[in-house]
Structure 1
């Protein structure tokens, strides 16, 4: 686990309000559309897919803002693009990498929040999951960085 300050990141993104109960409708589908749109508009992809949760509290029925973002080099907006671009603000977080099945995400969040509780930090209400490697055939091959925003 480590404390990080993430510099601003320019992204192509999708945003919606959802709950943890309803989030699975976006898995795999939105990322594919983001990649397709970026390639179609000749954008340079500069990183893996980010899932950004604002206001998620672990309760499956809580409505929160979900942003699914693909880092790209800044480009002129394409009028035919399904998505918009923006700059993610600098982000201070506690980060931990999960190797393997996403069923372990709950434990990672628990460890990070315990670490935050030990220190002089408070959660910001924004969490990020960076999907460094997604292996849908062999979940043991997944690499996911979990970032919990702090003040």
Structure 2
């Protein structure tokens, strides 16, 4: 676990309001479309897919903002991709930890980070990010995810 200051980045983004109960419809689907759109538009991919949660509280029915972002090299011109938006994501201060394995156990990693934040009397921002370093849908124990919990 470490405190990090993530620099601002440019990303091709999909944005929606959803809940944990309903968000599985976006798994694999949006990431694939982001990659296809970026390549078709001549954009250079600059990092792994990120899921950015704002207002998620872990409850299945709570609505929250979800951004699925593909980091890109900033384009030199305005790019029009109807389904997605090119966004400049601001710098992000967080406590991060690497999660190895099945995403069904991500709650354990969040619990460790949040417990650390609370024990140090830190304040969370309500924004969390997951960077999917390695995704293996055939062998979920091989997944590598960086979990980032935003702090003030």
Q: TM-score range by the shorter chain?
A: over 0.9
Match of 2:92 in 1: 91
User: Is residue 72 of structure 2 the alignment partner of residue 72 of structure 1?
Assistant: yes
Work out the CA distance in 2 between the residues paired with 1:82 and 1:42. Answer: 16
C-alpha RMSD over aligned residues: 0.9
Work out the CA distance in 2 between the residues paired with 1:80 and 1:101. Answer: 33
Conserved 8 A contact 1:55-1:126: yes
Task: Structure 2: give runs of 5+ residues left out of the alignment.
Answer: none
Work out the CA distance in 1 between the residues paired with 2:17 and 2:32. Answer: 19
Match of 2:28 in 1: 28
Alignment of 1:100-115 (within 5 A): 100-115=101-116
Q: Single out whichever of 69-78 and 3-12 deviates more from structure 2.
A: 69-78
Match of 1:7 in 2: 7
Work out the CA distance in 2 between the residues paired with 1:55 and 1:17. Answer: 10
Conserved 8 A contact 1:52-1:68: yes
Work out the CA distance in 2 between the residues paired with 1:113 and 1:58. Answer: 12
Q: After TM superposition, what 4+ stretches of structure 1 lie above 2 angstroms from structure 2?
A: 76-82
Conserved 8 A contact 2:102-2:141: yes
Q: CA deviation at 1:120?
A: 3.3
Work out the CA distance in 1 between the residues paired with 2:56 and 2:85. Answer: 23
Q: Between Structure 1 and Structure 2, how many residues are aligned? A: 151
Closer, same or farther: CA 42–63 of 1 in aligned 2, 3 Å? same
Secondary structure of the equivalent of 1:115? helix
Task: Structure 1: give runs of 5+ residues left out of the alignment.
Answer: none
Q: CA deviation at 1:78?
A: 2.8
TM-score, scaled to structure 2: 0.96
Q: CA deviation at 1:67?
A: 0.1
TM-score, scaled to structure 1: 0.97
Closer, same or farther: CA 80–10 of 1 in aligned 2, 3 Å? closer
Work out the CA distance in 1 between the residues paired with 2:94 and 2:143. Answer: 21
